[in-house]
Amino acid sequence: MTAMPHEPLTQEDILLEGFLALKTPEGFRAELIEGEIVVTPPPDGDHERYISRITRQVSRHSLVDMDFSGNKGLKLVGAIDQTRDHVIPDATFAPLDKDLFLGAEPWMPGEGVAMVLEVTSTRGHKDRQAKRRGYARGGIPLYLLVDRDDSTVTLFADPERGDYRARRTVPFGKPLPLPAPFGFDLETTDFL
C-alpha cells in the first residue's frame, strides 16, 4: 500500500495503513466503513442465536449447497467511486462449489459471495446505512439484515450505484422469501 517515491500518500492511504496495523482486544473486531474505523465489542448470546437460526435454515433449505463463514473480512471496492471498505459481516454465504474461503486472505474480495448477514448490536445505524451501502458498492447481491431494534428482517437485493434497488421487510414471526440460489422462505418465528 506504500506510494511510489514520487507519489505522496493520500489521507485515505494513511487511514487504510493505520487500520490494517490496528490491534484490537480479543473478541473485538475493527472495520473500516466509509472512511471511519469502527470497533465493535463481542456479541451477546441473542445476537449469535439469530445467526445460528439463519445459518441452519440456509444449510437445510437452499437450492444450492452453501458454504458459510462467520466474521470473514471482506475488502469491498466501490465500482464507481473506488471507496475501499473493510467489513466483517456476521455471516457470509457463498456457493460451496466455488470454494471461496479456501486459502482466502484475512481480507478477501467480495466476488462470488451470494449473501451477507448482519444482526444489529451496539451500532445498528451502521448496519442499516453505511454497511448496506458498502455491500451494494462492493456488488454483494443480497444483504440480509436482522434489526433487533425494530424486530424486523430485511432483505436488500439488486445492488446498483452504491445502494440496493430492492428491499423487502417483514416483522419477526413472518416468513421472508429468499431468492435463488437460496430459494426458500426464511422462517422468523424463532426470533420472537
Q: Are 177 and 169 in contact (CB under 8 A)?
A: no
Can you give the pLDDT of all 192 residues of the chain as single tens digits?
455 566 788 888 888 888 888 889 888 888 989 888 888 889 999 999 999 999 999 999 999 999 999 989 999 987 666 678 999 999 999 999 999 999 999 999 999 999 999 999 888 999 999 999 999 999 999 999 999 999 999 999 999 999 999 999 999 999 999 999 999 999 999 999
Query: In CATH, what class is 43-191?
Result: alpha beta
Contacts of 131 (CB under 8 A, 6+ apart): 33, 87, 89, 118, 143
**Residue tagged 484475512 (cell numbers):** 106
Domain ranges within the chain, ordered by starting residue? 43-191
